Amino acid sequence: MTFAILPMTFSHLDEIAELEQVCFSMPWSRASLQDELSNEYAVYYVAEDGDGRVAGYAGMHVVLDEAYITNVAVRPDARRNGVATALMRRLENIARGSGAVRMLLEVRESNSAARAAYEKLDFKAIAVRPRYYIRPTEDAVIYEKILKEDE
């Protein structure tokens, strides 16, 4: 599968809102996604497939020296093609360029595919938030990637 990594724009919102419905039990609304486009701390990218459809998207907030991954979602038929990895690498490059010293994210404890993907990208599990998720209730595992060691 070929795809291009591009900044998220208003034209992507309908497809991303649909993707949220497919991927998450508590999806972000289209309005929430649209609000993120005007958030000065937010960075969002999409992976567009060869047909110009959204294959996946990812976003983060960069505040001071920390980058927090807010969302990563890939269309079911586009999974296992490097989409999430490419999106995460783009976010990491932006985080580094913004002076972030670490990246953080959380993921459902049962989401073994995502957890394996994050670990392959050198994220380390550092904590658990008990009962963080609902529908169903589940712990969140917090992951961290150090981008720059203290000098």
Q: Which domains does the chain have, with CATH numbers?
A: 3-146 (3.40.630.30)
Catalytic residue, chosen from 20, 36, 92, 106, is 106
Structure tokens of 21? 């419905």
> What pLDDT was estimated at residue 150?
57
Judge whether 25 and 44 are in contact, CB under 8 Å: no
Checking if the pLDDT of 149 tops 80, the result is no
Measured distance CA(133)–CA(139) in Å, rounded = 6
Checking if the pLDDT of 87 tops 90, the result is yes
pLDDT digits (tens, 9 = 90+) for 92-125: 999 999 999 999 999 999 999 999 999 999 999 9
Catalytic residue, chosen from 44, 118, 133, 143, is 118
Active site residue 40: no
Length, in residues, of the chain: 151
Judge whether 121 and 88 are in contact, CB under 8 Å: yes
Residue 136: is it exposed, middle or buried by C-beta count within 10 angstroms (0-12/13-18/19+)?
A: exposed
pLDDT digits (tens, 9 = 90+) for 3-59: 999 999 999 999 999 999 999 999 999 999 999 999 999 999 999 999 999 999 999
Active site residue 118: yes
Judge whether 128 and 140 are in contact, CB under 8 Å: yes
> What pLDDT was estimated at residue 1?
86
Q: Pairing relation of β-strands 102-108 and 138-146?
A: antiparallel
Listed in sequence order, the residues at least 6 apart from 117 whose beta carbon sits closer than 8 Å to its beta carbon are 84, 85, 88
